[in-house]
């Protein structure tokens, strides 16, 4: 980006900050919260910096990516897989048989034990799924124990990836261990991984989490151990460092040996240190905007207005401001070439490339004069996302569309994100784009059957859109022809638009760290980090 253009949008960012300060919602939490510096660690501990704390260690609780990272350091799932892959890596699961289009019989090993020595049986798998399903929407119709080591899993969808997704997602634990826990796993853990958290000083909410290696691990056949389940350190200390500059300082000064994640604006500084290695982690998050399509929305039944908004957005400016040289402006409406199964290079047409003059023409065609329309934009309190929205706000104002930004903390944002909430006209939905589109990306955005309202995430009731999705979700329907037809429909109708892509980045001390394993869930498993 030319310096003049960048300065222009930096000015827009400053103006946007003023708007954001006046329209925050929810708890009043803002991005850039002050976070504690790294905690003093006991001798020999591997110290890993993470950017946010978690309110509970309960493995089935609703949470963000850091909750998942901690959970999968303490609990195992039935299986896992690599990003963009279709094959499963078995963990607790010995194998499975597909009975019909929606029914699967899963066998687990008959010698699984948790950290306290409790045997894990099919009943515990059922219990764990029920705990998870109480907090998360799933495609599971029912789950039942066939005998001690077999469960039957019935899905409510024939779509590719629904079975694979859920067996890789649900943490498994003993019902007895859960009931015996003094606080139902809130500050302590007891899973099948070779690490536990004892609570007390080992779990200080908002400050640190210490996981200690157990005396044994149930899977004694080394050829069957999942790479993400190894135990390479006796003690792992997770230091919670919410403030981005403090995280960079911690890895630079060596108070942490491994940091995930780093703010893009600090990457060049960290990379300048000879002993530090900066590495990318797939974000697997589609960074785009979704139109509210309820009958009350100005975008309902107004294609020209939706197109006007998209042509108004300078995604190169967004990528530069959000990624500081590490982000890429999008060439597609959605998807990731490396992660999305069925992604087609023919999609890379740069639809709705920045064209403010065309946006102005379309605004007139849509029936609005300059300055007449005000739209509401919903975003969470993540600094990168609010930066994106401040630039979009400036872009829209440039073509004659007023935009109000409503910045919410995570829980409030999650409840508002449904188009039927009436809280927005434009939103950042943030679906995952890894794996089958019927597992997350298009299912989350466009499958009406995924929501109790019977509408899409944006509140739409488009029968043709649903028919195109159902064709993909049908048995043997996951074909390139069907995928391309759906992609073309959402692109031509301007229903959703990916703005830019940006990996996550971490860093480690090359003098101390030899290796690590990246989980498909977008993080490095701390237990896999090899200390020199």
386 lies in some domain: yes
Q: Where are the beta strands (DSSP E) in 119-241?
A: 140-147, 150-155, 195-196, 203-204, 208-213, 235-240
Report the alpha-carbon distance of residue 297 to residue 283 in Å, rounded. 31
Task: Compute CA 497 distance to the chain's CA centroid, rounded to the nearest angstrom.
Answer: 18
- Residues 489 and 514 grouped into a single domain: no
- Residues 423 and 396 grouped into a single domain: yes
Q: How confident is the model at residue 377, as a pLDDT?
A: 97
Q: How confident is the model at residue 286, as a pLDDT?
A: 94
- Residues 24 and 139 grouped into a single domain: no
303 lies in some domain: yes
- Residues 171 and 263 grouped into a single domain: yes
240 lies in some domain: yes
Q: How many domains does the chain have?
A: 2
Report the alpha-carbon distance of residue 98 to residue 253 in Å, rounded. 53
Q: How confident is the model at residue 37, as a pLDDT?
A: 59
Hey, what are 200's tokens? 């007390």
116 lies in some domain: yes
Q: How confident is the model at residue 283, as a pLDDT?
A: 77
Kindly give, in sequence order, each residue whose CB lies less than 8 Å from that of residue 9, ignoring residues fewer than 6 positions away: 314, 317, 320, 321, 391, 394
Q: How confident is the model at residue 8, as a pLDDT?
A: 45
- Residues 98 and 229 grouped into a single domain: yes
40 lies in some domain: no
Report the alpha-carbon distance of residue 283 to residue 505 in Å, rounded. 9
- Residues 183 and 201 grouped into a single domain: yes
Q: Report the Cα–Cα distance between both ends of the chain, in Å, rounded.
A: 41
Kindly give, in sequence order, each residue whose CB lies less than 8 Å from that of residue 295, ignoring residues fewer than 6 positions away: none
Task: Compute CA 465 distance to the chain's CA centroid, rounded to the nearest angstrom.
Answer: 25
Task: Give the pLDDT of the chain (532 residues) as one tens digit per residue.
Answer: 444 444 444 444 544 444 444 455 644 443 334 445 566 778 899 999 998 878 899 999 977 788 999 999 999 999 998 877 789 999 999 999 999 999 999 999 999 999 999 999 999 999 999 999 999 889 999 999 999 999 999 999 999 999 999 999 999 999 999 999 999 999 999 999 999 999 999 999 999 999 999 999 999 999 999 999 999 999 999 999 989 999 999 999 999 999 988 999 999 999 999 999 999 988 788 999 999 999 999 999 999 999 999 999 999 999 999 999 999 999 999 999 999 999 999 999 999 999 999 999 999 999 999 999 999 999 888 888 999 999 999 999 999 999 999 998 777 887 888 999 999 999 999 999 988 999 899 999 999 998 989 999 999 999 999 999 999 999 999 999 999 999 999 999 999 999 999 999 999 999 999 999 988 767 899 999 999 9
In the numeric block, the tokens 């090359």 are attached to 510
In the numeric block, the tokens 């498993």 are attached to 525
Q: How confident is the model at residue 23, as a pLDDT?
A: 58
CATH label of the domain that carries residue 372: 3.10.105.10
CATH label of the domain that carries residue 106: 3.40.190.10
203 lies in some domain: yes
- Residues 272 and 338 grouped into a single domain: no
37 lies in some domain: no
Report the alpha-carbon distance of residue 260 to residue 242 in Å, rounded. 11
66 lies in some domain: yes
CA proximity to 192, closest of 212, 218, 213, 227: 218
Range of the domain at 310: 10-28+284-501
Q: What is the value of pTM for the model shown?
A: 0.85
The answer to whether the CB of 414 falls within 8 A of the CB of 320 is no
- Residues 496 and 465 grouped into a single domain: yes
- Residues 255 and 111 grouped into a single domain: yes
The answer to whether the CB of 356 falls within 8 A of the CB of 311 is yes
Local structure of residue 493 (DSSP, 8 states): T
Assign 363 to helix, strand or coil: helix
- Residues 106 and 93 grouped into a single domain: yes
Q: How confident is the model at residue 248, as a pLDDT?
A: 97
- Residues 422 and 326 grouped into a single domain: yes
- Residues 271 and 393 grouped into a single domain: no
Beta-carbon neighbour count of residue 440 at 10 Å?
Answer: 20
Helix (H) or strand (E) holding 69: helix 65-74
């Amino acid at each position: 980006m030319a310096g003049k253009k960048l300065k222009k949008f930096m000015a827009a960012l400053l103006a946007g900050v003023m708007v954001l300060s006046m329209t925050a919602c929810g708890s009043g939490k803002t991005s850039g919260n002050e976070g504690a510096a790294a905690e003093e660690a006991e001798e020999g501990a591997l110290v890993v910096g993470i950017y946010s704390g978690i309110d509970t260690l309960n493995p089935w609780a609703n949470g963000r990516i850091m909750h998942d990272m901690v959970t999968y350091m303490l609990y195992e799932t039935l299986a896992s897989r690599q990003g963009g892959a279709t094959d499963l890596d078995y963990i607790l699961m010995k194998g499975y048989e597909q009975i019909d289009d929606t029914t699967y019989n899963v066998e687990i090993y008959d010698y699984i034990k948790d950290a306290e020595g409790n045997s894990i049986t099919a009943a515990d798998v059922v219990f764990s799924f029920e705990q998870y399903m109480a907090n998360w929407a799933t495609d599971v119709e029912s789950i039942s124990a066939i005998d001690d080591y077999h469960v039957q899993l019935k899905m409510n969808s024939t779509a590719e990836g629904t079975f694979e997704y859920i067996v890789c997602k649900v943490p498994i634990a003993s019902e007895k261990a859960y009931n015996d826990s003094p606080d139902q796993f809130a500050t302590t853990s007891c899973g099948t991984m070779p690490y536990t958290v004892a609570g007390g000083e080992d779990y200080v909410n908002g400050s640190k989490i210490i996981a200690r290696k157990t005396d044994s691990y149930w899977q004694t056949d080394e050829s069957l151990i999942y790479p993400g389940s190894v135990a390479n350190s006796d003690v792992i200390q997770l230091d919670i460092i919410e403030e981005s500059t403090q995280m960079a300082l911690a890895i630079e000064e060596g108070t942490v040996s491994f940091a995930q994640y780093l703010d893009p604006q600090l990457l060049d500084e960290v990379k300048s240190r000879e002993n530090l290695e900066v590495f990318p982690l797939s974000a697997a998050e589609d960074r785009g905007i979704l139109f509210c399509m309820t009958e009350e929305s100005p975008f309902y039944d107004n294609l020209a207005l939706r197109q006007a908004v998209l042509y108004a957005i300078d995604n190169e400016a967004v990528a530069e401001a959000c990624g500081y040289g590490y982000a890429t402006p999008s060439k597609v409406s959605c998807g990731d070439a490396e992660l999305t199964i069925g992604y087609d290079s023919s999609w890379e047409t740069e639809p709705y490339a920045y064209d403010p003059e065309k946006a102005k023409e379309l605004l007139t065609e849509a029936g609005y004069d300059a300055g007449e329309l005000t739209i509401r934009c919903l975003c969470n309190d993540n600094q990168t996302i609010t930066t994106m929205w401040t630039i979009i706000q400036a872009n829209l104002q440039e073509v004659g569309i007023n935009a109000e930004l409503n910045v919410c903390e995570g829980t409030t944002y999650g409840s508002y994100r449904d188009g039927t909430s009436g809280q927005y006209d434009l939103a950042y939905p943030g679906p995952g784009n890894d794996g089958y589109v019927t597992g997350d990306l298009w299912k989350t955005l466009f499958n009406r059957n995924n929501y109790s309202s019977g509408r899409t995430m944006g509140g739409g009731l488009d029968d043709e859109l649903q028919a195109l999705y159902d064709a993909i979700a049908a048995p043997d329907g996951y074909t390139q022809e069907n995928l391309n037809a759906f992609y073309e429909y959402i692109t031509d109708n301007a229903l959703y638009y990916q703005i830019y892509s940006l990996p996550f980045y971490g860093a480690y001390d090359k003098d101390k760290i030899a290796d690590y394993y990246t989980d498909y869930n977008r993080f490095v498993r701390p237990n896999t980090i090899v200390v020199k």
